[in-house]
Structure 1
Amino acid sequence: MRSYVFPGQGVQKKGMGKGLFEHFPELCRQADEVLGYSIEALCLENPDRQLSRTTYAQPAIYVVNALHYLTARRQDAAPADYLAGHSLGEYNALFAAGAFDFETGLRLVKRRAELMGQADGGGMAAVVGVSGETIAETLEAHGVAGVVIANYNAPEQHVLSGSKEELERIKPVFEKLDGVRGFVPLRVSGAFHSPWMATAAEEFRAFLDTVEFGEIRTPVVSNVTGLPFGSGAQAIRETLADQITHAVRWVECVRYMRKAGVSTFEELGGSKVLTSLIDQIPAEEPKDAAPWREYRDERVLALLRGCANGTLSVDEVIATIRAGGTSHR
């Protein structure tokens, strides 16, 4: 089985999408009208280093990812059995799955980028070399309440998000921690995928209510739960709003797809960032790990909420639990 995966913010660079724009003039025209500027000029020339700003970077990545996907389809690439994207890339996965068209997806991304870009304050830092459990225990042991794990990118590659002051305070602790190979502050405008984004998430939730969504034709594995999106428009709205304040559980997304039978992951977007992460993720967690302990309750709540609002049937919830989606392994 095959999965197409799409990268998110951080892969933007001058020259991105070169050789693609001329093959999709109508989509580029749509993008220019939605954004109010030339998407081709932004990506190829990066005027005033605009790609370093969230409000420009996210639409650029969405467009380039989409053009890579459409190019693959034009070349009769094998269809995907599963789709997934890292953070912003999830919008490309939903586009590929038929949840919305190119223009609707871009309008969503544009608004998301505006709201996240306005939510300044806070910061992020990458921690390499130790498990998420070790990171959580270290934060708790040192009384760091204003920082959370925002990205579970690989078993030993995580991103923290929260208070800049708390990140600075905990930095020397992690640098001295056994196994840590790096603690790297990231150049971002805010504390993404954390409670610091609560206002942005609520405003985006209101915007999502104005958008119509189609049925997902190919399963899209959600960053929020590590499980496929529930069926129906409301399930999509809820999950996309939650994504802004919740951790990106990329490890669980990959493990879910592997357990479902996916053996081939193809990254579309001109980057190999996700390919590198996927190579670091074994199919199963080590037997001595404490699987699901950190986020089992969140998954249960996601299933129960889906059942309550009618986006998941009781049968779907039971099937997920039987498959191991919310239980200890």
Structure 2
Amino acid sequence: MTDLCLFPGQGSQAPGMGKELFDRYPHLIKNASDCLGYDVKDKCLTASASDLARTEVTQPLLYLVSALSYLHHVQETGVVPEYLAGHSLGEYVALFAAGCFDFMSGLEIVAERGRLMSEVSGGSMFAVVGLPPEDIIDQLNQLSFDQLTIANYNDHSQTVIAGYCQDAQKLQDSLCAAGAKHVIPLKVSACFHTHYMKSTAEQLAAFLSRYRLSSPRIKVVANLTGQPYKPGDDVADILVKQVYSPVLWLQSMEYVLPKVDSWSELGPGKVLTGIVTRIQNSLTSSPIA
């Protein structure tokens, strides 16, 4: 059996997340609390949804809960997966699981990533449902929304666009007229995974230079390329580029799903489970050439 573990990104957080894990790993919880400067168990269990949604809080706590979920999964099943993948922030959990850095180094890096990204403001992000990515690009070009670009290729029917938009209503109406079922504004502070994040990426690069990141010991499919990291790849450079490049989740899953027998989402929520199931169904139903 060839197994794949998936780790969610920002948006999967929820009050109460990790409650079944904290008592299993008291030493890691204490170290994480000391690192972040607050009681992580208490924050996950009692903080409001709005507090958990703050980028500087969301990112380290999602990393924490997803990493513990992975440790528990391996301990319970005795199975080490052959492939790993994570959506945006989730890629850091995949790299931890693959041995690129230890648990605490990953937490420190993700906490700084969250802090840097939380300081960025301006721009918008929209989830477009029911319109293929190529049609979205055509519409953006036709409507002269040249400050918008694709940030996430999630699946064939769900794409996230981001950037600066002077007339959100016109954008929504136009995309719906072109065939989109929904155009949903996302509650984010900035246009993540676009070229507008390059300054943030440069600051992250400076921080990452303090760490020595190893090559993955398990195949990790990168958001940046939709392909596994290769031996000798500069892991830090790929993570820096990930900040201002679109998340190629659809392409990643189209690469890896035909190669595995089973997959599981580890971490809060089931956002990826829905997305990956749709991609898997589309692959299964596609005619053989």
Bin for the TM-score computed over the shorter chain: over 0.9
Matched, 1:65 2:66: yes
Indicate the larger mover: 190-199 or 207-216: 207-216
Taking the TM superposition and a 5 Å limit, the aligned residue runs for 1:1-329 are 1-46=2-47, 49-165=50-166, 167-178=168-179, 180-232=180-232, 235-259=234-258, 261-281=259-279, 282-283=282-283
Query: How many equivalent pairs are there?
Result: 285
Q: Distance in 1 between matches of 2:99 and 2:168?
A: 40
Residues 176 and 182 in structure 2, CA contact (< 8 A), matched pair in contact too: yes
Distance 2:272 2:213 in 1: 27
Equivalent position amino acid for 1:230 in 2: K
Give the counterpart letter for 2:101 in structure 1. Answer: F
Is the alpha carbon distance of 1:22 and 1:16 closer, same or farther for their aligned partners in structure 2, counting shifts above 3 Å? same
Deviations 1:71-105 (A, max 9, x none): 11121342211000000000000000000110000
Distance 1:199 1:167, change over 3 A: farther
User: 129-138 or 207-216, which moves further after superposition?
Assistant: 207-216
Once the 2 structures are TM-superposed, how far is the Cα of residue 33 of structure 1 from its aligned partner? 1.4
| Greater CA drift, 119-128 or 163-172 | 163-172
Partner deviation per Cα, 1:93-127 (whole Å, 9 max, x = no partner): 00000001100000110011011111111111100
Bigger relative contact order, structure 1 or 2, given CA contacts below 8 A and separation 6+? 2
For residue 23 of structure 1, what is the amino acid of its counterpart? R
1:280-306 per-residue CA deviation (whole Å, 9 max, x = no partner) reads 11338968xxxxxxxxxxxxxxxxxxx
Residue 284 to residue 18, structure 1, CA distance change in 2 (3 Å) = same
Distance 1:37 1:251, change over 3 A: same
Q: Which amino acid aligns with 2:261?
A: S
Alpha-carbon distance in structure 2 between the residues aligned to 1:48 and 1:218: 34
Q: CA 1:12/1:270 → structure 2, altered by over 3 Å: closer, same or farther?
A: closer
| Cα distance change on mapping 1:275 and 1:48 into 2, 3 Å | closer
Amino acid aligned to 2:108: R
CA offset digits 1:38-77 (Å, max 9, x no partner): 1111111115832121000111100000111111112134
Q: Distance in 2 between matches of 1:48 and 1:5?
A: 23
Contact 1:6/1:92 (8 A) holds in 2: yes
For the residue of structure 2 that corresponds to 1:83, the secondary structure is strand
Query: How far is 1:168 from its partner?
Result: 4.5
CA contact (8 A) 1:144 1:166 kept: no
Q: Cα–Cα, structure 1 residues 138 and 264, in superposed 2: closer, same or farther, change >3 Å?
A: same
Residue 195 of structure 1: how far off its partner (Å): 1.2
Could you tell me the TM-score, scaled by structure 2's length? Answer: 0.94
* Unaligned stretches of 5+ residues in structure 2: none
- Paired with 2:143 and 2:285, the residues of 1 have a C-alpha distance of 27
Report the aligned-residue RMSD.
Answer: 1.8
Cα deviation digits, residues 169-212 of structure 1 (max 9, x gap):
4122112222x110000001110101111110111111111111
TM-score computed with the length of structure 1 as normaliser: 0.83
Q: The residue matched to 1:283 in structure 2 has which SS? A: helix
Bigger CA drift: 140-149 or 71-80? 71-80
